[in-house]
Structure formats: C-alpha cells, structure tokens
C-alpha cells in the first residue's frame, strides 16, 4: 500500500493541504483593498504584487498565467478576485481562468463598486460567506500521489550540498517512487549540471528540453553581465553563499541539484504553467527564491521544502515552507525559523538515510495539517511574480 496523508479533496479532484480563501488582486492598484479584505477574514491570505498593467507581450502573459494558476492551487478552497476596472489584465479574465477549478469564486471591481470602502465591504462579505461554507469540510485520507512538493533553497553554505540537499533528495525520491511529484527550479543555480540532469530524462524530448532551458538561461546571464559596469554585480550567487564556504556557481549547482535526488525527470514546466501528470519535473525559473516559489505554487505545489545553510525566515501565503538546515549552529541560532535540524548528520546523531526518512515523514505531517514555523510566525515574503525585461 502506498503512503498517505490527510488532505482536503476539492470538487475538481485535486487535494489541498490547507483550507484557505485566497484574495488575489488582478493589478497592483487593487492590492491595498485585497489586503484589507484579508485582514478582516481569518483563514484568508492575500497576494499583493506590483504587476497587472503597463505590461505587454510575454511579460503580461506570464503575469496572467501565474495569477490564474495561483488561484487554481488546491490549498485554496475559494478565491476573491479584486480588480480596479481599467487594468490590462482584466479581473474577469483572472476569474474565468480560475473558474475551471470549480472552487468558490467572487469578483470585486473597485470602479464598479464605487470606491475602496465599498469594495472592501463587498469583498469581505464574499470571503466571510466562503469561509462559512468551507468551515465544515473535513480532511480525508488520500495517497501521496496527490502531493506535489516544491524543492527550493536559499542562503546556502557548505552543509547545504553535503547534508540538507542530499537528505531532501532522498525524501523526494521516496515521494516520486510512491507516485507523488517534485518540482526542481532555480535554473541559474543548475548551470554546469545540465548534462548530469539531462541523462536522467525519461525520453529524448525531455533530455533536449533540459539542455535547452539551462543553456538559454546561461546565455541570458552572459548578456546581462557583459553589460554591467560593476564587476561586483556579475556574481551569480550571493555574497552570503561565499561567506558560507561556496567557491562558485558551479559548486553551488552541484549541491543544489541534489535536492532532486536520483529520480528520472518526467518533463519541463514553463514559468506560470500548471503541472501535467506526476513525477519529477524541472521548472524553468530564475534563481530568486520568491520568483521560484511563486512558479512552483502556480504549477500546483501544495508544500515547499527549503534547505538553508545560512538561515532564512521567509514563507509563502497559504503554502507551508518547511525549512531544513544541515548546519547545527544555524539551527541553534535560528530555531524559531527552521523546522528540521539535518545537522544531526554532521554531529553523528543521524545517518543521511535516516534524515531523508525524517524529512519525508515531516512532509506528510505538514501535508496532514501540522504547521511549519514560517506559518506560525506569519511569514509570506516569497510571493513574487517574475518579470520579462
């Protein structure tokens, strides 16, 4: 029998691990109204962002796809779309895109309602009604094939590639083996590993896609760094990574890829798109933690596993971010932010295999309702839609 967790089964058959109402502005102009609605309705989260207008072409298309698929994520039982009324990305287009997920849905347009106060009142009423309707829903036992785990990392040090990432890779392999899914992103931090990753593709088409995605990212970075007049701006990893003992982006890449274990790659997902099928996927995304996490949630991830050697408090609205460190000193220093001390491998209190089991079991516990520390502290900094320059 495959492993299971306790989740909320949605009308479209997908499974959420949280039962929340999402308040999503279609444009930055309606961000404050969305925020005010969320503050008045416990059990709701909002997605304030700086886009939705004055964008063209692919840049606007990525914004549209990302916001629609954030709204379709199964952690949200209902969505209140908040628009201004004259933006390029129409609130009605956003709502229409979300509607096929069959969840509770309401659209509030500030110019139609009359002003901010009326829009807040209408949105608050809609969100409260949704919250009342979903309050009686109970968790059900479901197989781990319904779980999608995002693999992300930040603030790396030498212990990340040696302990935390490989341990997470073991947990990811176990999830995929049981029919679940994992999403590996941060393409800028996979440069130099493309041949290794491509060899794990399930077929020639996926093999070629992996090589193409990483090559295109490297070419873009070469163009951007060539135009810079400040050599300090050209480093592909942050100063904190160097301080943590990493020597180059290639060294970080060799450690970063270990988050994805040894499972075969089933496909490549474009930024803002929803995952199709199960297995391990490569997600075309930049190295910015927030931009990566946002694309992973849009792809359907209900939970993010986040190794960090240096330590970080960040979280994502409505999606648990499980923090893991391979550095026992970091865990001791940031114990209120980090959930798993994989540094026990370094101190000899655990083997790498045992730590992989610990992470896997904690993933299932969080999927079944256990809160992570970033949730408890209200961290939501990782929502950040990428822009096309």
CATH code at 110? Answer: 3.40.50.2300
User: 197 with 300, same domain?
Assistant: yes
User: 171 with 109, same domain?
Assistant: no
Which residue numbers in the chain have pLDDT < 70? 1-2, 225-252, 389
User: 124 with 202, same domain?
Assistant: no
Please tell me the distance from the alpha carbon of residue 31 to that of residue 11, in angstroms, as a whole number. Answer: 28
Residue 183 lies in a domain: yes
Q: What is the pLDDT of residue 134?
A: 97
User: 118 with 155, same domain?
Assistant: no
As for how many domains the chain has, the answer is 2
Q: Would residue 358 be called left, alpha or beta, if left means φ above 0 and alpha means ψ between -120 and 50 degrees?
A: alpha
Q: Are 23 and 34 in contact (CB under 8 A)?
A: yes
User: 105 with 209, same domain?
Assistant: no
Residue 272's H or E segment, with its range, is none
User: 75 with 170, same domain?
Assistant: no
Q: Print burial letters for 111-121: b (CB count within 10 Å at least 16), e (below 16).
A: eebeeeeebbb
Last residue of a domain, one of 77, 108, 134: 134
Place of tokens 């606007």: 60
Residue 148 lies in a domain: yes
Biggest distance spanned by C-alpha atoms of the chain: 64
pLDDT in tens, 71-84: 999 999 999 999 99
């Amino acid at each position: 029998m495959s492993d299971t967790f306790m989740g909320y089964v949605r009308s479209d058959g997908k499974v959420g691990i949280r039962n929340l109402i999402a308040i999503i502005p279609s444009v930055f102009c309606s961000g404050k109204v969305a925020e005010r609605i969320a503050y008045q309705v416990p059990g709701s989260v909002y997605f304030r962002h700086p886009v939705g207008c004055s964008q063209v072409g692919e840049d606007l298309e990525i914004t549209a796809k990302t916001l629609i698929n954030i709204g379709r994520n199964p952690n949200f039982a209902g969505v209140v779309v908040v628009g201004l009324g004259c933006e390029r990305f129409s609130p009605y287009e956003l709502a229409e895109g979300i509607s096929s997920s069959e969840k509770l849905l309401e659209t509030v347009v500030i110019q139609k309602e009359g002003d901010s106060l009326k829009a807040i009142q209408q949105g608050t009423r809609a969100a409260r009604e949704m919250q009342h309707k979903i309050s009686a829903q109970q968790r059900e036992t479901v197989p781990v094939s319904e779980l999608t785990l995002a693999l992300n990392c930040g603030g790396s040090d030498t212990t990340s590639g040696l302990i935390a990432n490989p341990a997470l890779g073991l947990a990811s392999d176990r999830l995929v083996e049981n029919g679940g899914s994992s999403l590996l992103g941060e393409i800028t931090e996979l440069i130099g590993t493309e041949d290794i990753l491509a060899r794990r593709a399930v077929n020639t088409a996926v093999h070629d896609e992996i090589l193409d995605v990483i090559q295109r990212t490297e070419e873009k970075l070469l163009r951007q760094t060539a135009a810079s007049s400040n050599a300090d701006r050209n480093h592909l990893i942050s100063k904190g990574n160097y301080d943590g003992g990493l020597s180059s982006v290639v060294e970080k890449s060799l450690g970063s890829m270990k988050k994805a274990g040894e499972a075969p790659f089933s496909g490549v997902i474009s930024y803002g798109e929803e995952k199709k099928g199960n297995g391990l996927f490569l997600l075309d995304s930049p190295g910015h933690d927030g931009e990566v996490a946002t694309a992973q949630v849009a792809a359907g991830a209900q939970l993010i596993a986040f190794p960090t050697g240096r330590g970080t408090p960040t979280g994502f609205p409505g999606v648990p971010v499980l923090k893991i460190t391979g550095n026992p000193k970091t865990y001791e220093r940031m114990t209120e932010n980090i959930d798993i001390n994989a540094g026990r491998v370094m101190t000899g209190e655990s083997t790498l295999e045992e730590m992989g089991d610990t992470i896997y079991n904690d993933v299932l516990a969080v999927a079944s309702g256990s809160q992570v520390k970033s949730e408890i502290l209200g961290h939501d900094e990782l929502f950040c839609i990428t822009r096309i320059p």
